[in-house]
Structure 1
Amino acid sequence: MKHITFNNIYKPGKVVLENGFYIHNHNPEMLLQYDSNFIRFKKMPTVPEFLDAHDYLRSYHQESGQKHVRFYFPEGEEFPAGASKLLTKRRGLYNRIPGAVCHSA
């Protein structure tokens, strides 16, 4: 049996932006569904890279009337030391589901 990972499961929506750093998935028919509207990082971001992606996705979602952002980080890679505490303090980020972060605007 094949090992199930985030990369090989169905995710409703479409890719609206892909670059060398992340993939932005968006589903205009399911705006409130976190699992259909997110950024998946291709490599572990630094804190400044994450904050840039956060600001981009938050702005994109606000234009669509969405009040959340969701991110998926690469499997098996550690988040940079101290980054989680810094992000929680600076951005009000919450929801410590492994590999994902959500934020209410």
Structure 2
Amino acid sequence: MNAEIIEFPERGRENRLVSSTARLEAIVREVERVVADEPAAGVDRLLTIMEHMGDQLVDLASLLLDEEPRLQAQGAFQRLSDKIAETRATFEQLEGERRR
């Protein structure tokens, strides 16, 4: 008789996964709504949504990936967050120059 080792998910992990996935889906719906209903909402609004989406993807990565790929995903999303901050600063600077 062969015995199989059955690994049970961490307690609460499944709930966190479902919750995180639901939040990500809500963000995607928000992006779709903004693009359809408020195309002039501005870059800042879309950048904010991208930041929230990145946070949710990191949360999902922590639930689904092993240590090494999870750290890589966190690094990638940190770089994305840095680029979003740079983009936001550039747009703020351009707005300031246009007002002059």
TM-score normalised by the chain length of structure 1: 0.33
Higher relative contact order (CA 8 A, sep 6+): 2
Higher strand share: 1
Higher helix share: 2
TM-score normalised by the chain length of structure 2: 0.34
